[in-house]
Amino acid sequence: MNQQMVYKWLAVAALVEWLLVRTLTRAAIHVPKSPLVIAVYTAVNRIGLVSAAFVALLAVVLLLWLAWRTRQAIILPIALVGLVGLSTLFLFIVPPMWVALTYQLFAIVAVILLIVGHRYGQEVAEPEKKRKWQGTAVVLFPACALLAGLCVQLLPNLYRLLSWPGPPSFSTFLFNVGESFVVGSVMVWWWAYGRSRSRRHWLIATVPALFFALSFWRDPAMTGILTIWSTGLTLFLPWPVYVLTLWLVGVTVLANWQMQPTLAWAILLLAAAGYAPQLSSQLFCALIALWLLGQPFAMTQIHAVHHRQPDSFRTEPQLITDN
């Protein structure tokens, strides 16, 4: 089986679950429901729940495969297997405080080691400082956002376990810093890989951004609530920032859907996982996405660069992708 197809199925299923279960069905809670609407609502919800179950199972399989592939690193596979084992255990028992804290520590260790592993790979594979910096930022920004969310979730358990008064006063600040990294991630992705010159990409990506802008203009309170439910973002920054972010992430995904699909799927997995993932399946999707972002991609160039070669050895420029 083509490995990339597995990532694609995971990304598409996660996207369906995100849009149906955590967005559409929640947005429709205040809509008056006739018997026909109730039937459609139930069908959509069931499709989303099936997608959620599929995502959970496939994410577990891929995370275990990632642990096997990185088995020489020792600590990272231990953290990944520990996450899978504890999340399975949580299906049967209510975890004690120290076990829940252990799970969160495994997640934080896994994110840090994915950053370190990618940075080491960049040192070996990218001799150019500019490319190395961009490649590092592509992983570092979403990883920092994930770390901030995980730390916010860990702090209440830590304070309770140690019998400290809490939660700490800096939790809100830390959460906002992580949300800023979410926005910054999109800017970095677009700058490195998404500066598409296709008007079609820009036009298509305008649709969700414009929809969000109109929704916020019409009812900012409800839009804010649905955004928190759907993505975990609090919209503490000015709303045009989120409109621009949504627009640019759409352009980046569309620009890479054919040429560098692994990058597009990684971005969709992070979007579906949301900021500060609440479920194990969402966390697993985010970890898989970080690993995918750590793979080598060709940087976007405004003008194609053709290296001069002898006439008898002229070749077309090749695009490096992760196969």
Which region holds residue 74: left if phi is over 0, alpha if psi is between -120 and 50, else beta?
left
The predicted structure's pLDDT at residue 131: 53
Q: Return the closest-CA partner of residue 290 out of 257, 264, 266, 262.
A: 266
Count of CB atoms situated within 10 Å of the CB of 161: 13
d(CA 210, CA 202): 12
Cα–Cα distances in Å, from 301 out to 74, 89, 238, 244? 38, 48, 31, 22
Six token digits for residue 117:
């592993």
pTM of the entire structure?
Answer: 0.86
Count of CB atoms situated within 10 Å of the CB of 245: 21
Per-residue pLDDT tens digits for 183-209? 999 999 999 888 877 889 999 999 999
The predicted structure's pLDDT at residue 189: 94
Which of the 8 DSSP states describes residue 298? P
d(CA 9, CA 13): 6
**Beta strand residue intervals within 140-270, DSSP E:** none
The predicted structure's pLDDT at residue 132: 57
What residue segments make up the domains of the chain, in order of their start? 3-297
The label of the residue with tokens 């500060």 reads 276
The predicted structure's pLDDT at residue 28: 81
The phi, psi pair for 111, rounded to 5°, reads: -65, -45
The mean per-residue pLDDT over the stretch 247-275 comes to: 93
d(CA 323, CA 317): 18
In the chain, what is the straight-line distance between the N-terminal and C-terminal CA atoms, in Å? Answer: 13
The label of the residue with tokens 């109730």 reads 38
The predicted structure's pLDDT at residue 145: 96
Residue 309 confidence (pLDDT) above 80 = no
The label of the residue with tokens 């971005």 reads 267
